[in-house]
Amino acid sequence: MKKLLFVFYFFALQVGAQDSTPTTLPLVTLEGQTGGRLDGTSWNSNEIKDKITVLFYVDPDEKDLNEPTAELLKIEKFPLEKYASIGVINMAATWLPNFAIENSLKQKLKKFSDTLYLRDLKKVLVKEWGLKDDSSNILLFDKSGKLVYKIMGKAKPEESQKLITLIKDMLNK
């Protein structure tokens, strides 16, 4: 019986980690030695507001892990006046040299031109937001900047669909 309760408790924790209850994450800033925008200017997580925002936090070695979800989001063509996407590159999670990552980013910029790209040079979001390191994470924020949904690691098809459904629901409010 104890084993059954433990399994139920563990399952409840896992489901709770993926629910859509808005959560406020700690404020983070990427600037200087910790990273920032590709042009070298700083970025602050307070900027995640006023639009529904999807943030991909990616180890360059795992850049294709959630590409199917990114493609699904692109197909939706959400209105840019209400929706934003951010790609954060976990630069400290790879052995790849910066110039190789820069070349890969140029390709991403062509494909996903409406995405804001950032560099995290010191795993700030891993430490401050508890994101999965050496992987790919997808976070959905509401218009107030609260975390609504997260996928840590490879997104299952049903998780990708839930992400899209949540975005549509928030856009229609």
pLDDT tens per residue across all 173 residues of the chain:
444 333 333 333 333 345 556 899 999 999 999 999 988 999 999 999 999 999 999 999 998 999 999 999 999 999 999 999 999 999 998 887 777 777 777 777 777 889 999 999 999 999 999 999 999 999 999 999 999 999 999 999 999 999 999 999 999 98
pLDDT at site 9: 35
pLDDT at site 106: 74
Its pTM stands at 0.85
pLDDT at site 64: 92
The strand pairing partners of 137, in sequence order, are 57, 152
What's the CATH fold of domain 22-171?
Glutaredoxin (3.40.30)
pLDDT at site 98: 72
The strand pairing partners of 55, in sequence order, are 86, 139
